[in-house]
Chain A
Amino acid sequence: MITCDEFMAELGNYFEGDVATEVRQQLESHVSHCQTCQVVYDSTRKTICIVTDSGSFDLPDAAAKPIKDKIMAKIRDTRIWSK
């Protein structure tokens, strides 16, 4: 049986689908016996879903447009000077 520290050390690879079958089985066996790690695993998985679906840090159109205009104005300006 692996320890909680060993479980935590492999958890990142586990989320990425990047563990060998044997390790995966050890991790799953650990989770089925250790409620703390079960909670950590489950809530981290849910965290990832929440973050992924949150639509966070979207740049609203109202902000994107003036930024683009400024960029293009500077570029066109520089072009004129460099000719």
Chain B
Amino acid sequence: MSYLREVELGATFPPFASLQERFGFVPNLFRAQTLLPRTIEAEAGIANAVLLQERALSRTCKESIMLAVAAANRNTYCAAEHHQTLRSLGVPDQQLHQIVIDHHRAGLSAPDTALLDFALKLARYPAWLSGEDINVLRGHGFNDESILEAILVTALVNFLCTLSVGLGPAPDFEPPAIQRSNKTRLPDARSYVGGTCGPYLRAVELRPQNFPPFAFFLERFGSIPNLFRAQTLRPDAIEAEAGAFRNVLIPEDILSHVQKECILLVVSAANLNTYCVAAHCEMLRAMGVSMEDSDQIAVDHHQADLSEANKALLDFALKLAVRPSEFGREDIDRLQISGFTEEHVLEAVVVTALNNFINTLQMGLGTTPDVEPRRVFGPRDVHLPPAVESLTEEAEADPDAGLVARVQDGDLDAFEELVTRHSRRVYRTLVGIVGNVEEAQDAVQDTFLKAFQHIGSFQGRSKFSTWLVTIANNTGLQRLRERRHLESLDDAGPETDEEFHPRQVRAWADDPEQLCSQAERRGLVESAVMRLPPKYRVVLVLRDIEQLSGEEAAEALGLRIPALKARLLRARLMLREALSTHFASNAKRMVS
């Protein structure tokens, strides 16, 4: 059962017959698309070329990539699928569990670990991927064929994840518990690449005269896009991609070409994919849409000259692609209320998913645009759908929800488990506020007692851990006030009235962590953090030590994001001053 009506295709439908023969069953993800058999054919073609053929990487290796990325995407359906496959390939349960949670502890070889690092970066932060990441893999002994296959597999799992979110099939197997933390912050802005600095991989010459997919692209686009030229080490993959274009993007019996191109454009823009945005603007231009209109659709389609129904279609695609955890049956209903049929919905899901495949592939290959881009995307360039429903997302993803429900039913053992899970986090928060180890330990008790007292009224509108940190924050503040501490955490005064001028301007050693042991570093950090004023200390502890996201820390402290950011920078700069004497390089340079 899935969100859409299913029809009987019969055992002779070739992709189903082949799946049945290979796996002994037809996965629900494909059954969910029986309204449009041509989409199933397209997907089966790609999956067959990329995953099922034994080429450069082993099946186990490819399935491990798929499991790790599905878990990082918090995609239960795909995680269950690849978990089961790896089991049947003989991978022990304990190792699978670690691949889901943290592949660095899964006992994998260094090259396999590096390969999963790469795939996860490509899947989650593709615009930050660069030639350096490719070189890391080469350093581990992977050749260009293997790297291309890893890119294709990562693109495929993103494709399947988006499909399964949009179609809502029941998992075919018992899903593993997905506890992978998604707290990973965006990589350093300095390393933002934008995905067009390649091509990173070797390519060979294929000619349209004797390679039909290139003849097809040439006829369709007037030239062969760089995206396909960069994959010539794998002609079978290019052939499958051409098949997907033929089966998904070219037919006009359901959605029109312009509608499909608009979906591809908005989702590529949301994915910050400069290459694909340039390509789809060009396609729309050929269909009579002006460049200005395309630019507007890419940046904010709500301000574009589109019908309300088409705006709803693009809202749907955008939410599915970039906020999958908020996506649900109500989004399908909303689209149908706007006048779309189930076939329209299905095709919109498949086009969006295919777009995520192409975007991931392109960023992995780093191909330069085929036409001069009108806009080069950076991290802040696009309007994403409002995150008003993020609270639901958190609640759904809250790993403590089950324990909280048991406590609310009177189960004290469940509360004890919550204390075990969270006492360290609560303690760190309190150290950050009160600045004293003994007092923080004391305040941990107060915090949990208050949490227990009020847990009956906790409704899951935020994560339990965030709620707990809020209580810890209030408990710590109360203690500070009792001490009549002059500096208050909740002072709402301007953050930047007094400018902070760095005083230590000696360069640091290239690798400062080599200058002292882990224990010494910890001691230095702890003592420097303790000397920070409380309002800076707590922000630094929550963000850099506890590693909460900016949103989580702001919510827990009751601060607005700009205030939080200003305090965090100040705290980091003050800490930098304090640590400078220990980590500066020997080459001292005095600056007036």
Contact = CB atoms under 8 A, between A and B. Distances in A.
Interface of A: 5, 8-9, 11-22, 24, 28, 36, 39-40, 42-59, 63-64, 67-68, 70-72, 74-76, 79
B424 A58 contact: yes
A1 B330 CA distance: 50
Nearest to A51: B544
Contact of B526 (A13, A46, A48, A57): A57
A18 B496 CA distance: 19
B186 A44 contact: no
Chain A CB within 10 A, most for which of B377, B441, B529, B569? B569
B412 interface: yes
Given A48-B572, A50-B525, 6 more contacts: A36-B502, A40-B573, A46-B512, A51-B540, A72-B415, A75-B412
Contact of B427 (A48, A49, A50, A57): A57
B550 A20 contact: no
B423 A36 contact: no
Interface stretch (B170-178, B197-205, B388-396, B574-582): B574-582
A57 B423 CA distance: 12
B419 interface: yes
16 contacts: A16-B185, A17-B192, A19-B189, A39-B506, A43-B504, A43-B583, A51-B525, A51-B575, A53-B521, A54-B522, A55-B522, A59-B444, A71-B444, A71-B445, A74-B449, A79-B412
A43 B188 contact: no
B168 to A, nearest CB: 32
B545 A57 contact: yes
Contact of B187 (A17, A76, A79): A17
B486 interface: no
Given A15-B189, A79-B412, A72 B541 contact: no
A36 B187 CA distance: 24
Given A54-B522, A67-B444, A17 B189 contact: yes
B381 A21 contact: yes
A36 B591 contact: yes
Contacts of B412: 72, 75-76, 79
Contacts of B424: 58-59, 64
A12 B566 contact: yes
Contacts of A74: 445, 449
B547 interface: yes
A51 B415 CA distance: 31
Contact of A57 (B186, B431, B508, B565): B431
A41 B274 CA distance: 28
Given A47-B576, A50-B512, A70-B445, A56 B526 contact: yes
A69 to B, nearest CB: 9
Interface of B: 185-190, 192, 376-381, 412, 415-416, 419-420, 423-424, 427-428, 431-432, 441, 444-445, 448-449, 452, 496, 499-500, 502, 504-508, 512-513, 518, 521-522, 525-526, 529, 540-541, 544-545, 547, 550, 565-566, 568-569, 572-573, 575-576, 579-580, 583-584, 591
A24 B378 contact: yes
B371 to A, nearest CB: 19
B419 A71 contact: yes
A45 B545 contact: no
Please report whether the interface of chain A is mostly helix, strand, loop or mixed according to DSSP. Answer: helix
A53 B580 CA distance: 17
Contact of A52 (B432, B547, B568): B547
Contacts of B572: 15, 44, 47-48, 51
Contacts of A43: 504, 507-508, 576, 580, 583-584
A18 B189 contact: yes
Nearest to B504: A43
B445 A67 contact: yes
Nearest to B127: A17
Chain B CB within 10 A, most for which of A18, A19, A54, A67? A54
A47 B545 contact: no
B194 to A, nearest CB: 8
B521 A50 contact: yes
A39 to B, nearest CB: 5
A7 B583 CA distance: 23
Given A20-B381, A43-B576, A49 B545 contact: no
A64 B423 contact: yes
Contact of B513 (A12, A53, A55, A59): A53
A46 B499 contact: no
Given A36-B505, A46-B512, A56 B186 contact: no
Contacts of A72: 412, 415-416, 419
Nearest to A5: B499
B522 A56 contact: yes
A39 B507 contact: yes
B569 A17 contact: no
A44 B576 contact: yes
Contacts of A28: 190
A24 B128 CA distance: 14
Contacts of B496: 9
A45 B191 CA distance: 12
A16 B589 CA distance: 29
B526 to A, nearest CB: 5
A75 B415 contact: yes
Contacts of A14: 189-190
Nearest to B580: A43
Nearest to A25: B378
10 closest A-B pairs by CB: A21-B378, A12-B569, A17-B186, A17-B189, A54-B525, A43-B508, A59-B427, A47-B576, A51-B544, A57-B428
